[in-house]
Amino acid sequence: MVTAESPPVPRHVAVIMDGNGRWARERGLPRAAGHRAGAEAVRESIQGCRDLGIEFLTVYAFSSENWARPKSEIKALMSLLEKFLKDKANELMDWDVRLQAIGRLHDLPESCQNQLHETIEKTSGNKGLTLILALSYGGREEIIDGVKSVLDAVRNGHIDEAMITPEVFSQHLYTRYFPDPDLLIRTSGEMRLSNFLLWQISYAELVVLKKNWPDFRAADLAECVDEYASRHRRFGKL
């Protein structure tokens, strides 16, 4: 429970969910088993965010680069995504969680798109945590799409070139309806951003955990938030 005496809690947490394949390999299981276990870790993270009073949670569910993986794995991931969206819809309603998604969503299989839109619509009136799935997402691609959107706005006379600022540009990104992340968590110990929210995490605090994503639990999220609270965010100032 968050109280007036509680340490600062990030408004928006973003997560690079890394290590599903490694988790499965260490147990002699197929990669699909790791992805299924990773879906349970998403559920744990949702619960943890609700308990801590976090308003937004963005999870890197499927990157634009992931399309280069074997077709069998992509098919399994899309099937898991569709099942997660369908099976968890009622649970999201019970938890007052609003679902959103960012990325080149038109690249997803039609059945996934339909289920995604259905669950987004079903949960649209919820007022609690906003869960944002990054799907077919790439940070560089988002910036390129943002540039194209700004150019269209200039050509159509909606804005003048002199009006373009970082704040204006942000309104042309996939994330224009959400605040920038305060805390970025990455699992599996890898020290890289992997093309995730490159514009938005300019001043986010970064916490890297060695454990693989399927082992991530609400208690781990709480520890990351404690680490966040212990830091002094300068935003480039003294």
Task: Give the total residue count for the chain.
Answer: 238
How many other CB atoms are there within 10 angstroms of residue 80's CB atom?
16
The verdict on whether 66 is a catalytic residue reads: yes
∠ CA 73-98-120, nearest 5°, is 60
Quick one: pLDDT at residue 237?
67
Quick one: pLDDT at residue 233?
78
Quick one: pLDDT at residue 7?
64
Question: For residues 102 and 134, what is the distance between their CA atoms, to the nearest angstrom?
Answer: 5
Quick one: pLDDT at residue 8?
87
Quick one: pLDDT at residue 1?
42
What pTM was computed for the model?
Answer: 0.93
- Residue 57 neighbours by CB under 8 Å, 6+ apart: 12, 13, 14, 15, 45, 46, 49, 129, 130, 131, 132
Which pair of structure tokens corresponds to residue 43? 């559920």
Strands lying side by side in the sheet with 98-102: 98-102, 130-137, 56-63, 12-16, 183-186, 205-208
Distance of CA 6 to the CA centre of its chain: 25
- Residue 33 neighbours by CB under 8 Å, 6+ apart: 24, 27
Going residue by residue through the chain, which has 238 residues, state the pLDDT in tens, using 9 for 90 and above: 444 455 689 999 999 999 999 999 999 999 999 999 999 999 999 999 999 999 999 999 999 999 999 999 999 999 999 999 999 999 999 999 999 999 999 999 999 999 999 999 999 999 999 999 999 999 999 999 999 999 999 999 999 999 999 999 999 999 999 999 999 999 999 999 999 999 999 999 999 999 999 999 999 999 999 999 999 877 666 6
The verdict on whether 212 is a catalytic residue reads: no
Beta pairing, strands 98-102 & 12-16: unpaired
Catalytic member of 20, 66, 152, 220? 66
Catalytic member of 18, 182, 212, 220? 18
Domain ranges of the chain: 12-138+182-229
The answer to whether domain 12-138+182-229 has CATH 3.40.1180.10 is yes
Which pair of structure tokens corresponds to residue 163? 């009006």
Quick one: pLDDT at residue 234?
73
